[in-house]
Structure 1
Amino acid sequence: MPGRKSAWLPDQHGAWAMLAVPFLAGTWLAPRPGWAHAALFAAWLLGYAAVFHGQQWLRLRRVARRRPDTAARHVRPALVLGAACAAIGLPLAAAYPWLLLAAAAAAPFVAVNTWYAGRGRERALANGLAAVVPACGMLLVAAGLGGLPAAAAWRPALACLLYFAGTVPYVKTMIRERNSRSYRRASVACHAAALAVAACLSPWLAIPFAAYLARAALLPGRALKPPAVGAIEIVCSAALLATLVLVFGGG
């Protein structure tokens, strides 16, 4: 039933790795991780869930006019989760005022996602790419919170951006655009470019990014079920996190 607590969890399963991996990488790369990271991570996840429900309310209010209850069921989660995010986030912002600048930098991308949601176009390629940017930017935020300057954190943040941006067209080739040759070509081209850039960031990054290119070239067309696609992406995300920590965490 809609009122059950499980209905409060966003069903965008692919988003969770994108939310967690950059943040965890920034935390583990920072020289002084602490309690503030746990609080910020909680606020980050709660804020994402609140925004998700708010966007669903906008989308469903427009497309389900004959069933207003369909949109209304997202109001309570949006308000409660948003209040919980504020309860954790505001004290953090008071202790670290620069977090407000980070939130302001993310706001335009959230606005783009909200615009697409309000028009029922959440699956648009540009919408997915817009969501990737603030998620990967959280590596810089988590790193800065632990005392790692942006000059030392931008390379792992860019590596995250390269990977997660590539997942946007790749996942489409596996599910919604599985029959599109143009999407497959674009996905492979994006992954090839990402491999070249990643290798410039660190030669060790060429290993996972070569694997990402191989999966983008070889897996589309093999009729894998969505759970299998998701499991592969979990492995790829974990490999990225491990590589970033090993490559950039040597002090």
Structure 2
Amino acid sequence: MSRSRWLPNQHGAWAMLAVPFLAGTFLGHPGLAHLPLLAAWLLGYLAVHHGQQWLRLTRVSRNPKAPRRHVRPALTFGAGALACGLPLAAPRPWLLLAAACAVPFVAVNSLYAYRNRERALWNGLAAVVPACAVLPVALRLGGGSWASGVAPALACLLYFAGTVPYVKTMIRERNSRAYYRGSVAYHALALALVPLLSPWLAIPFALYLTRAVVLPGRGLRVGVVGAVEVVGSVVLLGVVVGVF
């Protein structure tokens, strides 16, 4: 099986997985325990991805081999996630509770996958929540408190939730005025809210609002859209680690 069939071509998802985790790690005290947690986190995502693709293709594909090609990656990545995560969780049972909190959101994403509606707005928003909730988990593993992780996790949530409608205005819904207006309204609201978390967050969120207003309709290539979001994610990481 080729590498492209094992690793999903979802660059935005990787940023969403990495930034909150790294923010939580560096806001606490980075240690060796973060390495198996990161491995379990990424391998778990890959296992869920392939499991959801199996669900989707089982329903929509007429080729019985299509869903079958996701079985081995799902089992392999799932076993890897358990091998990395269970030894870490044995002396820290709160990690299992944290993982259980993600189950309802994974269930929502799985339902959308089964219905072949993975690009739906609410499906994307549901995926953002557990991705950002890993921040306080990584922070707690590094000796920080749950409470100290709330504000930075909310900052990540406000940013990554905004990328869902914004990216749609750049690609799949680039001709939709409703999506454009909704994206701009969301980013304006986020800009009004983030000073409650930290006044410094107004700087990057003003930039995010500007790009939501200015860039749609300019015919930017997908690669350029992705590069802009990578920069936005890195800026968010730097600001979150710097101010909290």
* TM-score scaled by length of structure 2: 0.98
- Give the counterpart of 2:164 among 158, 161, 168: 168
Tell me the equivalent position of 2:109: 113
Q: Distance in 2 between matches of 1:242 and 1:106?
A: 26
Structure 2 CA distance for aligned equivalents of residues 4 and 185 of structure 1: 41
Residue of structure 2 aligned with 1:242, choices 228, 234, 238: 238
CA RMSD of aligned residues (A): 0.8
The 5 A counterparts of 1:147-162 are 147-162=143-158
1:35 match: secondary structure: coil
Listed one character per residue, the Cα deviations across residues 110-144 of structure 1 (whole Å, up to 9, x for unaligned) are 00000000110000100000000000000010001
- Structure 2 distance, partners of 1:240, 1:183, is 24
Rounded to whole Å, the distance in 2 between the matches of 1:118 and 1:93 is 31
Map 1:15-54 to 2 at 5 A: 15-30=13-28, 32-54=29-51
- The residue type equivalent to 1:45 in the other structure is L
In the alignment, what sits opposite 1:181?
177
Partner SS state of residue 87, structure 1: helix
Partner of 1:74: 70
Structure 1, unpaired ranges of 5+: none
Give the distance between the partners of 1:232 and 1:144, measured in 2 at CA: 31
Number of residue pairs matched by the alignment: 244
State the distance in 2 between where 1:55 and 1:95 align: 31
Give the CA deviation at 1:7: 1.9
Instruction: Output the amino acid matched with 1:127.
Output: N
Greater CA drift, 144-153 or 126-135? 144-153
- Distance between the aligned counterparts of 1:56 and 1:13, measured in 2? 17
Helix, strand or coil at the partner of 1:95? coil
CA distance in 2, matches of 1:232, 1:202: 23
Distance across 2 between alignment mates of 1:200 and 1:93:
34
Letter in 2 for 1:241: L
Cα drift, residue 5 of structure 1? 2.9
Identity score, percent:
69
Map 1:77-226 onto structure 2 (within 5 A): 77-226=73-222
Find the aligned partners of 1:187 and 1:157 in 2 and give their Cα distance: 21
Letter of the 1:25 partner, please give it. Answer: A
Whole-Å Cα distance in 2 between the matches of residues 35 and 178 of structure 1? 44
TM-score, normalising length from structure 1?
Answer: 0.96
1:12 aligns with 2:10: yes
Separation in 1, partners of 2:156, 2:81: 25
Q: Distance in 2 between matches of 1:53 and 1:7?
A: 9
Q: Deviations over 1:137-178 (max 9, x none)?
A: 000100011111121111110000000000000000000000
